[in-house]
Chains A and B, each alone.
Chain A
Amino acid sequence: MTQPIVTPLSQALAEGKLTREELKSFMRRSDGPALQKLILWVLVVSATTTLVTIFWDSWLIWPAMFIHGVVLVHHFSLQHECVHYTVFRTRWLNDLVGQICGLILILPHRFFRYEHCDHHTYTQITGEDPELVPLPKSLGAYLLYLSALPYWRSKFTEVARHAMGNLNEVEKRFIPKVAHKDVFWDARMMVGFYTVAFLGMAIIGWWGLIWYWLIPLFLGEPVMRFIRMTEHVGRPTVAQMSENTRTNIVSKPWQFLCWNMNYHAEHHYVSSVPYHALPRLHEKLKDHIHVEEGGYFAAHRKILGQVLARG
């Protein structure tokens, strides 16, 4: 018999960490919770946008833009959930919201989806996982990663390459041929969207989007890099999900912003479980995964300890 590949989920079921009935209950989807949360989400974005407006003529616009940016970059968490089709029960809503988040973040949605699938197949395997962030070799490399400069360089290069109809060898591995055109189309749409936005600003002589959107995005991205490092960096580069991924216990506001993706090991165990069920899944799996009780900062203390020990 052709055997299925062993996934963290099939292992968890085989080892009795999770029963089939529990799995079905955790996977249950609905449009309601996410639609309600999206209303709150829009209110939060509106509040931070207002903050930027209030401090428009003051130096305080910079901290206001930073706070606004921290909220903006968390569209990544929502987009990530949409990649997994777990935000809404209605599948096309996940595609729509994911595309919108992608436009906000300059991260084409369908490309991210293919790349992220490969990340789930080869989590933390050096040379295979396309999203793997290696443990920095020095304090300088650690700070450079957190600056988000390498991230933006890579993203701009990626979008330009795809808009020109090219894929690199790694991308060809995880994007099926039939989807190449979709990836190119999304990148061209992204370039077109931003070109129209800039032309529109030039024509009407109002450059507000730069202050309300782009500068906050660049100011906020280091925070997202800080958070994303805590998911896998410093954990063993092995296939065992109980080892290679870190769950971080964080406060409710962070949980709200990151759509519960701090429960990252649980997410990797069963990626079909919607964000709102992850805290319940955590209660089932917490003894079988790596949990950082001290949250993002404790995770970084450990990462930094490892980085400095290398030097």
Chain B
Amino acid sequence: MVEQKPWRDVIAAQALEKNWVTRVDLGARRLAIYDTPCGVYASLALCNHGGADLCDGYFDGHVIECPLHQGAFDVRDGKPVGAPATRPMRVFEARVKDGMVQIRG
């Protein structure tokens, strides 16, 4: 059986930008944490098309749009939903526990 990676605290839930995307640096990783109507989600922050920071993009519901070319991803599963994004973005399991947003992966 594969051992699952541990949960790690990334930011206090209260510090999240409400219904928006929040940038978090975690070690060598820059993450985007999304506050959505159906919970908290997390992904790598840089767009896998042009390398722009998704945290400066437009966020609506559960779709994050790259600020450079408006390529878009569904933050729930990383699926590209708008060109020129064509590859899924890397997402992480995320949850809120004891007032902290945690991610695993």
Once the chains bind, are B82 and A9 in contact (CB under 8 Å)? no
Question: In the bound complex, how far is the Cα of B52 from the Cα of A13, in angstroms?
Answer: 13
Known contacts A9-B56, A272-B67; A1/B84 CB under 8 A: no
Once the chains bind, are A9 and B67 in contact (CB under 8 Å)? yes
CB neighbors of A among B26-73 (8 A): 28-30, 45-46, 50-53, 56-58, 60, 63, 65, 67-72
- Set A13, A23, A121: member contacting B68, Cβ < 8 A: A121
Known contacts A4-B45, A4-B51; A29/B58 CB under 8 A: yes
The total number of A-B Cβ pairs within 8 Å is 78
Question: In the bound complex, how far is the Cα of B67 from the Cα of A3, in angstroms?
Answer: 15
Q: How many B residues touch the partner, as a band?
A: 20 to 34
Known contacts A4-B45, A4-B46, A121-B69; A272/B29 CB under 8 A: no
19 additional contacts (CB under 8 A) given A4-B30, A121-B69, A272-B67: A1-B25, A2-B30, A4-B46, A7-B53, A7-B67, A10-B53, A24-B20, A27-B58, A85-B72, A85-B82, A91-B63, A110-B83, A114-B84, A117-B68, A120-B68, A120-B69, A121-B50, A121-B68, A272-B58
What are 8 sample pairs from A and B whose C-beta atoms fall under 8 A apart?
A: A5-B50, A7-B68, A10-B56, A83-B70, A121-B50, A121-B68, A176-B83, A272-B58
Query: What is the interface of chain B, defined by CB distance below 8 A to chain A?
Result: 20, 25, 28-30, 45-46, 50-53, 56-58, 60, 63, 65, 67-72, 81-84, 86
